[in-house]
Structure 1
Amino acid sequence: MLGDLIGEEQGRITVQRVLPSEHGLPPSVETTFQASGTLLGVTISDMGTYVGTLRPDGTLYGTGTGVIMSPDGAFASWQGTGVGTLGEGGTVSWRGSIVYLSDSPAFAGLRGVAGAFEWETDQSGKASGKLWAWR
């Protein structure tokens, strides 16, 4: 069941590039971002890259990976997957799941938890996200 809101962040897309298509599939877009916010009440910086591929129904399928760090050196890595929808003017809205790996005590609350996320990007490259615990 979805639980409490455990994280929020705001950031910006820093790089995008089109990846070549393979096996007759549409090309994919690789997006790298940087964001900051809080996770489990800890101030974090988040850096990640995800790849979105357009599907025949007009939605996107995406996978990503990244790292989060706190100002005092706690860190975690993450992997996520989700479905995106394209909006007017180049906005993209993602919904999906994310899992974390960390030995840092500050992020012990992420162990055994999958996160359900919302991630929004606007036409200027601004991004924001929310994360809920899924237990």
Structure 2
Amino acid sequence: MLGELIGDTQGQDTGRRVLSAGDGHVVVEVSFQGSGSYYGTAVSGFGTYEAEMRADGTLYGEGQGIDMTADGQSVTWHGSGVGHMTESGGSSFRGALFFTTSSPQLERLNGVVGVFEFDTTADGKSTGKIYEWK
């Protein structure tokens, strides 16, 4: 069951590269930076994910990153999800995130599975929402 909204994110791709391409199988690496919040605490950070185009046209992705508060507290995350390309040339993913932190402000994230909605435009702008999975 979905629970409380953990936070939201806005970002921009900072790099893209093809890791493999052959026989219609493509894996792309995307790096990005952005800002947002976790339970009302503002953060900014960056991350990288790999997205694989599967034979049926869907995408599978895995990523990791770090977000930091203005005073330098940090939280790392790892996640995976499935998605698809949009008609406008962007992508849309849904999946789960797992957090690790020693930050007093963000420690609540250690016991939470975050379920996310993450959408990008063709020019690499992204928005996302993360909810608790209870």
Q: Into which bin does the TM-score normalised by the smaller protein fall?
A: over 0.9
- Give the count of matched residue pairs: 134
Q: What amino acid does structure 1 have at the position aligned with 2:100?
A: L
- Structure 1: which 5+ residue stretches go unaligned? none
Taking structure 1 as the reference length, the TM-score comes to: 0.94
Corresponding position of 2:12: 12
Residue identity (%)? 44
Deviation at 1:27, TM superposition (A): 2.2
- After superposing on structure 2, the runs of 4+ consecutive aligned residues of structure 1 that deviate more than 3 Å are none
> Structure 1 72/114 Cα, relative in aligned 2: closer, same or farther at 3 Å?
same
Quick one: distance in 1 between partners of 2:80 and 2:24? Answer: 19
Provide the aligned C-alpha RMSD in A. Answer: 1.3
**Which shifted more, 25-34 or 73-82?**
25-34
Taking structure 2 as the reference length, the TM-score comes to: 0.95
* SS in structure 2 at match of 1:123: coil
Corresponding position of 1:32: 31
Deviation at 1:21, TM superposition (A): 4.3
Quick one: distance in 2 between partners of 1:61 and 1:37? Answer: 24
Quick one: distance in 2 between partners of 1:6 and 1:98? Answer: 11
Quick one: distance in 1 between partners of 2:88 and 2:127? Answer: 17
Q: Specify which structure has the higher proportion of strand.
A: 2
Deviation at 1:125, TM superposition (A): 1.1
Deviation at 1:132, TM superposition (A): 0.2
